[in-house]
Amino acid sequence: MMEELSEFVKEYYSLKTRIAPFELKTDAETVKTVAAVNILLERAYNVNAGASTRGRFGFGPGHTVENYMDRARRYTEALEKGDFPLRGRFTEPGTALVDHSFIEADGEMHLFYNRGYIGYEWDTMPVSTVGHAVTSDLINWRIEPPVISVDRDLHENYQVWSPGVTKKDGTYYMYYTGVNINVAQAICLATSKDLYKWEKYEKNPVVKPGKDCPWSADRWSDCRDAMVFVDDDGCAYMYYCTSTYTGPAVGVASSYDMINWSDGGAYAFDICDVALESPFVLKRGGKYYLFYTNCNHGTAYAVSDDPVRGWKSLGMLIPWTTPPLCPANVPSCAEVFEFRGGWYISSCLREPGCEQYLEIFHLTWNGDGTVTVGKRVE
């Protein structure tokens, strides 16, 4: 005699049936939403059947059957009403887009990014490749093959995170976080002439934290989220997230050849009360602007007359108004860039259950040197 189906299984199959007609569509918005629904449903099914949500370092927020099903249900209902619930939020179908970097070439904007997994924390499903997408309007994206992967014979034998791309003297430099099996992080380098074919530097990693930081390849050690700003005199400054013996900090290094880096120390910032991650620096009007993730709060920024120190807080830009379930569940990973005459700021909000998408907002520079975040691009 066939066992009676549970209410969960009945709804699971109902949603699978309801989403199926949309799998015949080929437009990007539908494809993106359908992929999210199917992954959420599969994750709910497996967890309901007893699959663990515990990673190497514990539980992430939102990894429950109820959350997965609720999100799958809402997305399906939206499509049935003719709406696109993920409009204005970019990712490869089925992936969670986290740390990222923009660079313009030949009238197009190139985006490089972590390729995470919806429904899985990074310590459950390792982030093993860096993705690549291209756009001419910041709305429609052409997804290219991934450009960097982990390598069992190198330091990055576990994961690769947070690409940061810049150009100097005709060469593109990607500084990415190589993570070994002990979660010891270090900054690695790959170079390219065309943004499509990348070659890893043979002596990676190029930067580890200096003497102020307790770094070891044998244990979790913070050295991630690198970005490089090239100043007017040709000196390049690298900013990255690290920890000193007293707590979270931003490490700084400098270089003229983009390969050999001099340690500039690590600085704890009183403008950030938990941790300052994903630092991004640009220069405008003779001032240096630091945009960063103020963990537990959102995206914030600061200004200085010096590229290394003296930062003065200018406040929050994209706050998370609802108390987050964990410090990382806030608008984060901001980059500021100019494209086709307009200024923009990016943001990635990690929803419970590890849904994460790229959002881009219009940005206005005010006469007093502050900025204002405008409407989302969609």
Q: Which residues pair with 176 in a beta bridge?
A: 188
In this prediction, residue 331 has a pLDDT band, given cuts at 50, 70 and 90, of confident
Q: Distance between CA 297 and CA 19 in Å, rounded? A: 35
Per-residue pLDDT at 372 exceeds 70? yes
At 330 the pLDDT is 77
In this prediction, residue 323 has a pLDDT band, given cuts at 50, 70 and 90, of low
pLDDT, one tens digit per residue, over 42-67 is 999 999 999 999 999 887 788 999 99
Mean pLDDT score, 332-348:
96
Mean pLDDT score, 61-85:
96
Is-contact 224 218, C-beta < 8 A? no
Is-contact 133 140, C-beta < 8 A? no
In this prediction, residue 325 has a pLDDT band, given cuts at 50, 70 and 90, of low
Is-contact 250 239, C-beta < 8 A? yes
Element (H, E) at 346: strand 342-351
Mean pLDDT score, 288-306:
92
At 218 the pLDDT is 97
CA distances from 191 to 198, 231, 281, 294, 357 (A): 5, 20, 21, 30, 26
Per-residue pLDDT at 327 exceeds 60? yes
Q: 45-49, 137-141, 253-257, 271-275: lowest mean pLDDT where?
A: 271-275
Per-residue pLDDT at 229 exceeds 90? yes
Mean pLDDT score, 3-26:
95
- Interhelix angle 7-19/65-80, rounded to 10 degrees, is 30
Mean pLDDT score, 353-357:
93
In the chain, what percentage of residues exceed pLDDT 70? 97
Per-residue pLDDT at 270 exceeds 90? no
Is-contact 167 106, C-beta < 8 A? no
CA distances from 30 to 26, 82, 97, 355 (A): 7, 10, 18, 16
Listed residue (26, 161, 31, 136) closest to 92, CA to CA: 31
33 phi/psi in degrees, rounded to 5: -70, -45
Is-contact 326 60, C-beta < 8 A? yes
Per-residue pLDDT at 1 exceeds 60? no
Q: Distance between CA 90 and CA 139 in Å, rounded? A: 8
The CATH class that applies to domain 95-376 reads mainly beta
**pTM (predicted TM-score):** 0.95
Mean pLDDT score, 284-296:
92
Per-residue pLDDT at 328 exceeds 80? no
Q: Distance between CA 195 and CA 8 in Å, rounded? A: 46
CA distances from 243 to 23, 220, 267, 330, 332 (A): 46, 11, 9, 20, 19
Is-contact 164 185, C-beta < 8 A? no
Is-contact 157 146, C-beta < 8 A? no
Q: Tokens representing 138? A: 């910041």
Q: Domain ranges for the chain, please list them.
A: 7-80, 95-376
Averaged pLDDT score across all residues of the chain: 94
Q: Distance between CA 296 and CA 276 in Å, rounded? A: 10
Q: Distance between CA 270 and CA 285 in Å, rounded? A: 25
